[in-house]
Amino acid sequence: MSIRIGSTAPDFEVDTTEGPLHFYEWMGDGWAVLFSHPKDFTPVCTTELGYMAGLVDEFAKRNTKIIGLSVDPVEQHVLWKKDIQEAMGNAVNYPMIGDKDLKVAKLYDMLPDDAGSSSEGRTAADNQTVRNVFIIGPDKKIKAMLSYPMSTGRNFDEVLRLLESCQLTAKHKVATPVNWKQGEDVIIVPAVKDEEAKQKFPEGWKSPLPYLRVVAQPKD
């Protein structure tokens, strides 16, 4: 199954460090960030999971839940959590999926169908494509995807910025320009014609080009 932006995020039932979990039920009517890593007890991922734990409250403010995944069993995740807290100073405070049968990794197109049906004997290199970020909206659609090599730590501040941009688009029909930060001007999407834009943005906008309509970021 190929997963792309706009695809429906596959539903699943799994074991996690916080007990059995049905993904759609766990999400509820909010947003979710599903991020995966190739293997427990690896250096770059240790830094990432600890940093992400420090951002849980920021994601929660944006009605977003965080969930991690690797193909290691839950019991191993629990042991690794101690190392993460020791190294990074943050206790992992979100569920970590034990995808030991590779089910979710395959559902989300991170591993091929012929990868087998068990994590037994697999190395981090075997799982190197299991290193992604999926931002999923309340409609259960994939809003954004990021893929990284094993050697490059992900920028989860950027994931937070990306989430904010996706949420603005969903709520206000605006896009965000290059290097946009929260509170800065945004762009009215082309699908919104001028008549509708006048109703949505009565204070008007700037148009340096006919197809580029810049407007102050809408207030929630």
Residues serving a catalytic function are 45
Residue 202 CA to residue 189 CA, distance in Å, equals 16
DSSP SS3 for 66: strand
User: Residue 157: exposed, middle, or buried by beta-carbon count in 10 A (0-12, 13-18, 19+)?
Assistant: exposed
For residue 205, what are its two tokens?
Answer: 């906008």
CA distances from 91 to 54, 82, 130, 203 (A): 8, 8, 23, 46
CA distances from 107 to 10, 79, 135, 188 (A): 6, 26, 15, 34
Q: How far is CA 80 from the centre of its chain?
A: 22
Q: What are phi and psi for residue 87, nearest 5 degrees?
A: -80, -35
DSSP SS3 for 98: strand
Q: Cβ of 138: how many Cβ atoms within 10 Å?
A: 15
Residue 177 CA to residue 18 CA, distance in Å, equals 38
- DSSP 8-class letter at 125: T
